[in-house]
């Protein structure tokens, strides 16, 4: 990409323009992740834009549903939104990083016992806020049904006689349970918060995008890995490093104590306590676990 196109993509002030959900299920977690990645974030939820001059970015706090549209049109360079909202919008934007929060499933649901599989939807009325996803899913399965768009609180539409079934976001399932509904059929989509951009990948991305991407990936690694340090007898080193191979091999340093070495390796946070037990059983001592606050691989 030439310099002039790069600058055009990055907005007239040369800053990378990033859309962030201003409300709803993804808003707080998205801002937290950006803060952890070293970006400034708003401290007033009424604020709709914020320039972080030092990091060369400008944030636009927008409705999560509108974000794919802005990015797809090329008005904004990058956005954080839900995968389900991206698919629903049919915007010309691509998912570039899955962020690991805001996880949900998009499912059909109906009155308990009323539906057993997708074929039962034939000829029925379905209410949803995600008309794009539902219509294309039904089409792909050859099911003919009437799809009605509602803004929210979709679960109540069955009780009110507006629909026979719904298609909606399910996280814990408690909203469905309280409305006396249950899911049926295959999961339509597994969703989570994602970073989207137009045309996708790093090398062709707008100015500053590569840094943004590396920072967010760094936060995800720092959240899912911890640093493990321990001392072990040299003859047990091979067995110990099989347990803690690290990402690119562990660091092994000599110890003042004859016949012993010190090992340092990143290990998955999940299962780290069990790993400490296993290392101890192998003869490792002074086993330390520390959080990683930031990381660039
Ligand atoms: N309970 C939930 N758990 C996890 N993710 C959710 C949950 N509810 C919604 N989401 C996700 O958050 C994104 C935006 O949904 P959200 O509910 O925040 O927006 P909205 O319905 O347009 O707004 P609002 O609910 O504030 O009127 C979607 O990607 C959706 O999958
Ligand atoms: O499975 P659960 O943990 O109960 O979560 C799912 C509920 O959360 C969302 O609703 P939201 O609060 O966004 O309200 P809305 O329907 O008005 O968008 C979603 O639309 C479901 O109703
Ligand atoms: Mg909602």
In a domain, 147, yes or no: yes
Residue where a domain terminates, one of 145, 175, 207: 207
Note the ipTM here. 0.96
Q: Whose CA is nearest to atom 25 of ligand 1?
A: 24
For residue 237, the domain's CATH number is 3.30.70.120
3-state class (DSSP) for residue 244: coil
Measured CA to CA, the distance from residue 173 to residue 180 in angstroms comes to 11
Residue 107 CB–ligand 1 contact under 6 Å:
no
CA–CA–CA angle 277, 230, 251 (5° rounding):
125
239 and 151, same structural domain?
no
Burial of 250 per CB tally in 10 Å (0-12, 13-18, 19+): buried
Per-residue pLDDT tens digits of the chain, which is 297 residues long: 333 343 345 567 889 999 999 999 999 999 999 999 999 999 999 999 999 999 999 999 999 999 999 999 999 999 999 999 999 999 999 999 999 999 999 999 999 999 999 999 999 999 999 999 999 999 999 999 999 999 999 999 999 999 999 999 999 999 999 999 999 999 999 999 999 998 755 555 677 899 999 999 999 999 999 999 999 999 999 999 999 999 989 999 999 999 999 999 999 999 999 999 999 999 999 999 999 998 888
For residue 168, the domain's CATH number is 3.40.190.10
Residue 161 CB–ligand 2 contact under 6 Å:
no
Measured CA to CA, the distance from residue 166 to residue 188 in angstroms comes to 12
63 torsion bin: left (phi>0), alpha (psi -120 to 50), beta (else): beta
Tell me the DSSP string of 272-283: HHHHHHHHHHHT
How many domains does the structure of the chain reveal? 3
Among 26, 95, 132, 193, name the best residue to mutate to test ligand 1's pocket (greatest count of ligand atoms within 8 A of Cβ): 26
CA of 44 from ligand 1 middle (Å) equals 21
Sheet holding 181-191, edge to edge: 146-149, 125-128, 165-170, 104-111, 181-191
CA of 151 from ligand 3 middle (Å) equals 8
130 and 79, same structural domain?
no
Residue where a domain terminates, one of 152, 179, 207: 207
Measured CA to CA, the distance from residue 240 to residue 145 in angstroms comes to 59
- Longest CA–CA span in the chain (Å) reads 79
Measured CA to CA, the distance from residue 190 to residue 89 in angstroms comes to 16
In a domain, 41, yes or no: yes
Residue 168 CB–ligand 2 contact under 6 Å:
yes
Residue 73 CB–ligand 1 contact under 6 Å:
no
268 and 197, same structural domain?
no
Can you give the residue range of the structural domain that contains 19? 3-102+192-207
Place of tokens 């806020």: 129
Burial of 116 per CB tally in 10 Å (0-12, 13-18, 19+): exposed
CA of 177 from ligand 2 middle (Å) equals 12
Locate the ligand 2 atom nearest the alpha carbon of residue 153 and give its number.
16
Q: Whose CA is nearest to atom 23 of ligand 1?
A: 24
Measured CA to CA, the distance from residue 1 to residue 244 in angstroms comes to 41
In a domain, 186, yes or no: yes
CA of 182 from ligand 2 middle (Å) equals 14
Q: Which two tokens stand for residue 24?
A: 């709803």
CA of 170 from ligand 2 middle (Å) equals 7
In a domain, 48, yes or no: yes
Measured CA to CA, the distance from residue 94 to residue 87 in angstroms comes to 10
62 and 201, same structural domain?
yes
In a domain, 27, yes or no: yes
Residue where a domain terminates, one of 207, 241, 268: 207
Q: Are 185 and 98 in contact (CB under 8 A)?
A: no
pTM of this structure: 0.90
Ligand that lies nearest to the alpha carbon of residue 157, given by its number in the listed order: 2
Nearest CA to 155 among 117, 116, 102, 109? 109
155 and 21, same structural domain?
no
199 and 98, same structural domain?
yes
Residues facing 34 on adjacent strands: none
Place of tokens 């059929």: 185
């Amino acid at each position: 990409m030439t310099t002039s196109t790069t600058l055009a993509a990055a907005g007239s002030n040369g800053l990378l323009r990033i859309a962030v959900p201003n409300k709803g299920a993804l808003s707080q977690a998205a801002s937290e992740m950006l803060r952890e990645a070293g970006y400034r974030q708003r401290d007033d939820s009424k604020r709709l834009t914020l320039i972080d001059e030092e990091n060369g970015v400008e944030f636009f706090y927008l409705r999560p549903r509108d974000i794919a549209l802005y990015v797809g049109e090329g008005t904004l360079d990058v956005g954080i939104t839900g995968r389900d909202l991206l698919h629903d919008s049919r915007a010309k934007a691509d998912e570039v990083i899955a962020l690991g929060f805001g996880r949900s499933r998009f499912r059909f649901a109906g009155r308990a016992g009323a539906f057993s599989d997708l074929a039962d939807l034939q000829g029925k009325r379905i209410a949803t806020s995600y008309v794009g996803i539902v219509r294309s899913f039904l089409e792909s399965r050859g099911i003919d049904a009437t799809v009605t768009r509602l803004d929210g609180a979709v679960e109540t539409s069955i009780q009110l006689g507006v629909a026979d079934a719904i298609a909606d976001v399910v996280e814990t399932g408690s909203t469905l349970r309280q409305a006396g509904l249950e899911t049926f059929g295959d999961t339509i989509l597994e969703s989570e918060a994602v970073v989207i951009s137009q045309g996708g990948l790093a090398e062709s991305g707008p100015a500053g995008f590569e840094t943004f991407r590396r920072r967010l990936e760094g936060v995800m690694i720092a959240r899912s890995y911890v640093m493990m340090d321990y001392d072990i007898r040299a003859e047990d080193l091979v067995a110990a490093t099989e347990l803690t191979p690290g990402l690119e091999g562990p660091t092994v340093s000599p110890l003042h104590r004859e016949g012993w070495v010190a090992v340092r390796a990143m290990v998955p946070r999940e299962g780290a306590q069990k790993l400490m037990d296993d290392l101890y059983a192998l003869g490792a001592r002074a086993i330390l676990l520390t959080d990683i606050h930031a990381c660039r691989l």
